[in-house]
Amino acid sequence: MDRKILIIAGVLLFVVLVFYGSRWMFSGPPRRSPEELAQIALTASTPQEQEKAAVELAPLGHSAVEPMVRVLSESRSPEVRAAMIQGLAVERDFDSMPAFLNALDDESVLVRTRAAGAVQRLLQIDVGYRADAPREKRLAAIKIFREDWEKMRVSPGLRKFREKLRQQEQ
């Protein structure tokens, strides 16, 4: 009788180890927090590591908004800034609109292109801005974007829309 119990216990232990062991082995590397990824995006020793961390950070959702904003404002890498703009735009982070508007005049065409997409997505307008246009033309379009943003920023419609987004998140 004791031998049967030992065999059954051994088989159960084996099954548990196989099940949980396979889950552990195939679960991939441990996931890093948004704060960890932001730190890597800002301080990694190579631009490739910084960009990789930024690309991992961008799709993490609402919990990553604050770290993305920090990386956007502090990074010197155009690829990293572009990834943060894209991540914040997907989250419809209207609080980042001033940073998006400033990025429309960034030295990098990539950053300007992503910022234009973000601004157009959030404001729902196209004023003819082209990231590769001469600076004078870009500045004229940026002025229109800024004026429209100032109108939208204080509108009750935006407050209602943001509240609706918050409710959908819950």
102's tokens: 């400033």
pLDDT at site 157: 80
Query: pTM value?
Result: 0.77
Under 8 Å between Cβ of 37 and 53:
yes
Decide if domain 34-169 falls under CATH 1.25.10.10.
yes
pLDDT at site 62: 87
Per-residue pLDDT tens digits for 104-122: 999 999 999 999 999 999 9
Distances (CA, A) of 145 to 102, 122, 129: 11, 11, 9
pLDDT at site 163: 76
Place of tokens 């961390």: 53
Alpha helices (runs of H) in 26-108, residue ranges in sequence order: 34-43, 47-57, 65-74, 78-90, 97-103
Segment-wise mean pLDDT, segments of 10 residues, the chain, 170 residues = 66 62 55 94 96 94 93 97 96 94 97 97 92 97 96 84 69
Under 8 Å between Cβ of 71 and 80:
yes
User: Where in the chain are the domains?
Assistant: 34-169
Rounded distance between C-alpha atoms, residue 110 and residue 167, angstroms? 33
Gap between the terminal Cα atoms of the chain: 55
